[in-house]
């Protein structure tokens, strides 16, 4: 099973290639030296990651030819807005109509959208977000694998179950275990994009982490995102040189005062400097914040979305704060699913064209239908946990994580069935 279909290289100049999926064109960076016009390739996150033998590519494309267009049609039908999709609230109707024409809601309008009380109004915002997602990104949905290589951490984030002061049993996957798990995800299960995640200063030095990235890149065709916390500008450079091309690093909250309260000894500026340095180096940026933090306001959430956009995020990663029973925030409630959905939908309205919006595992933990709801509210990216089962429960950042005990094969089966039912293609197409 593959999570992106082969593309045909139509044009290539310097390191920029035009590739085509059944006639739909996209630009991709080509760092491989053996690619020429007429080749078939896999691309991910805007990077060409692998060349395929033409016969193999054509065989795969034959299986996709009809399905590709059928899924697009189903998605377009489901995402269409009808004559009944009109609000009796004139202000809301105006905001949504303008959003459909590409006008970004102002900050005060955005706050209004987060504060809507009527079920019908909230539903209409989500439908509009889904409409915009379809208009700009068609039915593509990225499927990344995430491998949690260690739960060691030196930080004491107030909400996190694996923070330094927690008494969770610690693990650090060995070099061989990491290579084997990555290899299984890529070779056996077909992932084209992997996130390697851990706590900060996770028991491996930056040099060792870079060796791990380089070893995976040397063995397998894959786009690697790193998510090891604040590794410093030199650390980012070493990881990039080793082959990492994406950084997943949430700023958690754009409210600097709240940030410092929740992250003793750290500040928001340093987090943002990392994200800016990474972007300048050429990393794809995945970032965002927590929704429902104690003390967080709707204005903060709107600022979170604006900040994510200003950081050039190619993927928005927003998920709920889930109280960990052993943390000092244990007594605070988790947000309602509808509030998280409201943020995802607003993010799509405010950044319709630019970005992928991730349906996070934390959000999926809120209800069994959360993934579907998120995908129908502007979301177009999901993650599948490929961490070996024996370590999953130890990556205990919050309780009752969705899919915690599910094998990779089961998660994939479920995800692909859900995507198919919604008309989504597990591809990396779109603008
Ligand atoms: N060390 C890396 C870093 O600093 O980004 C990655 C590991 S950290 C555990 C990954 C993410 O888990 C954080 O960005 C945070 O948003 C999320 N997280 C931690 N505790 C959480 C909780 N109780 N509820 C929801 N998300 C949580």
263-273 tens-digit pLDDT: 999 999 999 99
199 C-alpha to ligand 1 centroid (Å): 8
Tokens of 239: 């990881």
pLDDT at 418: 94
In short, whether 199's Cβ falls inside 6 Å of ligand 1 is: yes
Phi first, then psi, for residue 135 (nearest 5°) are -60, -45
d(CA 20, CA 27): 9
In short, whether 324's Cβ falls inside 6 Å of ligand 1 is: yes
77 C-alpha to ligand 1 centroid (Å): 36
- Predicted TM-score (pTM) of the model is 0.96
272 C-alpha to ligand 1 centroid (Å): 16
SS3 264: coil
160 C-alpha to ligand 1 centroid (Å): 6
- Using CA positions, which residue lies closest to atom 19 of ligand 1? 160
Atom of ligand 1 nearest to the CA of 162: 9
Atom of ligand 1 nearest to the CA of 199: 1
- Give tens-digit pLDDT for 58-115: 999 998 888 889 999 999 999 999 999 999 999 999 999 999 999 999 999 999 999 9
Percent of the chain beyond pLDDT 90?
91
pLDDT at 388: 98
d(CA 360, CA 142): 12
- Give tens-digit pLDDT for 412-424: 999 999 999 999 9
pLDDT at 277: 98
Kindly tell me the burial class for residue 405, based on how many C-beta atoms sit within 10 Å of its own C-beta (0-12, 13-18, 19 or more): exposed
Architecture field, domain 7-77: Roll (2.30)
Atom of ligand 1 nearest to the CA of 153: 1
SS3 361: helix
54 C-alpha to ligand 1 centroid (Å): 42
187 C-alpha to ligand 1 centroid (Å): 28
In short, whether 290's Cβ falls inside 6 Å of ligand 1 is: yes
d(CA 383, CA 349): 22
Buried b or exposed e, range 282-306, using 16+ CB within 10 angstroms: ebbbbbbbbbbbeebebebbbbbbb
314 C-alpha to ligand 1 centroid (Å): 19
- Arithmetic mean of pLDDT, 269-295: 98
d(CA 249, CA 272): 9
- Arithmetic mean of pLDDT, 178-183: 98
d(CA 154, CA 2): 37
Ligand 1: which of 293, 362, 401 to mutate, most ligand atoms within 8 Å of CB?
362
267 C-alpha to ligand 1 centroid (Å): 16
14 C-alpha to ligand 1 centroid (Å): 38
How many other C-beta atoms are found inside a 10 Å radius of the C-beta of residue 123? Answer: 18
Average pLDDT score over the chain: 95
- Give tens-digit pLDDT for 386-404: 999 999 999 999 999 999 9
- What are the strands, taking DSSP E only, across 4-154? 7-13, 16-21, 24-30, 40-44, 47-52, 142-150
Q: Which among 318, 314, 309 is positioned nearest to 358, based on CA atoms?
A: 318
In short, whether 319's Cβ falls inside 6 Å of ligand 1 is: yes
Ligand 1: which of 160, 206, 248 to mutate, most ligand atoms within 8 Å of CB?
160
The hierarchical CATH code for the domain 140-422 is: 3.20.20.70
pLDDT at 429: 43
- Using CA positions, which residue lies closest to atom 3 of ligand 1? 229
In short, whether 200's Cβ falls inside 6 Å of ligand 1 is: yes
29 C-alpha to ligand 1 centroid (Å): 30
In short, whether 396's Cβ falls inside 6 Å of ligand 1 is: no
Residue 428 binned pLDDT confidence (cut-offs 50, 70, 90): low
Q: Which among 275, 273, 277, 266 is positioned nearest to 315, based on CA atoms?
A: 275
- Give tens-digit pLDDT for 104-116: 999 999 999 999 9
- Arithmetic mean of pLDDT, 176-188: 96
pLDDT at 50: 93
Residue 5 binned pLDDT confidence (cut-offs 50, 70, 90): confident
Secondary structure element (H or E) that encloses residue 83, with its range? none
d(CA 168, CA 324): 12
């Amino acid at each position: 099973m593959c999570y992106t279909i082969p593309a045909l290289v139509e044009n290539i100049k310097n390191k920029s290639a035009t590739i085509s999926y059944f006639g739909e064109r996209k630009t991709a960076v080509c760092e491989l030296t053996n690619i020429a016009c007429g080749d078939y390739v896999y691309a991910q996150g805007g990077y060409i990651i692998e060349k395929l033998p033409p016969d193999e590519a054509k065989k795969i494309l034959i299986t996709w030819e009809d399905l590709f267009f059928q899924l697009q049609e189903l998605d377009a039908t489901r995402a269409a807005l009808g004559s009944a999709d009109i609000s009796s609230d004139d202000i809301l109707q105006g905001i949504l109509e303008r959003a459909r024409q590409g006008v970004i809601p102002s900050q005060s309008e955005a706050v209004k959208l987060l504060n809507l009380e009527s079920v019908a109004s909230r539903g209409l915002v989500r439908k509009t977000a889904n409409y915009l997602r379809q208009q700009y990104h068609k039915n593509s949905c990225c499927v990344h694998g995430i491998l949690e290589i260690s739960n060691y951490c030196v930080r004491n984030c107030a909400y996190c179950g694996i923070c330094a002061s927690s008494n969770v049993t610690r693990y650090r996957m060995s070099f061989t275990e990491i290579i084997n798990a990555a290899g299984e995800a890529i070779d056996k299960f077909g992932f084209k994009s992997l996130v390697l995640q851990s706590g900060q200063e996770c028991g491996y030095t930056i040099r060792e982490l870079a060796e791990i990235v380089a070893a995976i890149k040397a063995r397998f065709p894959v786009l690697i995102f790193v998510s090891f916390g604040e590794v410093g500008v030199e650390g980012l450079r070493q990881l990039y040189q080793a082959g990492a091309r994406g950084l997943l690093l949430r700023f958690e909250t754009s409210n600097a005062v709240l940030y410092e309260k929740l992250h003793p000894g750290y500040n928001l500026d340093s987090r943002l400097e990392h994200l800016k340095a990474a972007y300048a180096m050429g990393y794809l940026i995945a970032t965002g914040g927590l929704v429902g933090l104690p003390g967080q306001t709707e204005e903060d959430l709107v600022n979170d979305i604006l900040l994510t956009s200003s950081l050039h995020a190619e993927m928005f990663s927003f998920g709920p704060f889930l109280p960990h029973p052993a943390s000092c925030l244990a007594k605070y409630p988790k947000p309602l699913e509808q509030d998280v959905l409201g943020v995802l939908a607003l993010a799509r309205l405010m950044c319709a064209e630019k970005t992928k919006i991730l349906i996070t595992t934390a959000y999926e933990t809120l209800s069994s239908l959360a993934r579907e709801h998120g995908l129908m509210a502007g979301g177009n990216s999901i993650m599948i946990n490929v961490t070996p089962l024996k370590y999953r429960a130890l990556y205990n950042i919050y309780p009752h994580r969705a899919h915690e005990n599910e094998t990779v094969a089961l998660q994939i089966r479920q995800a692909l069935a859900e995507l198919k039912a919604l008309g989504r293609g597990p591809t990396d197409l779109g603008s």
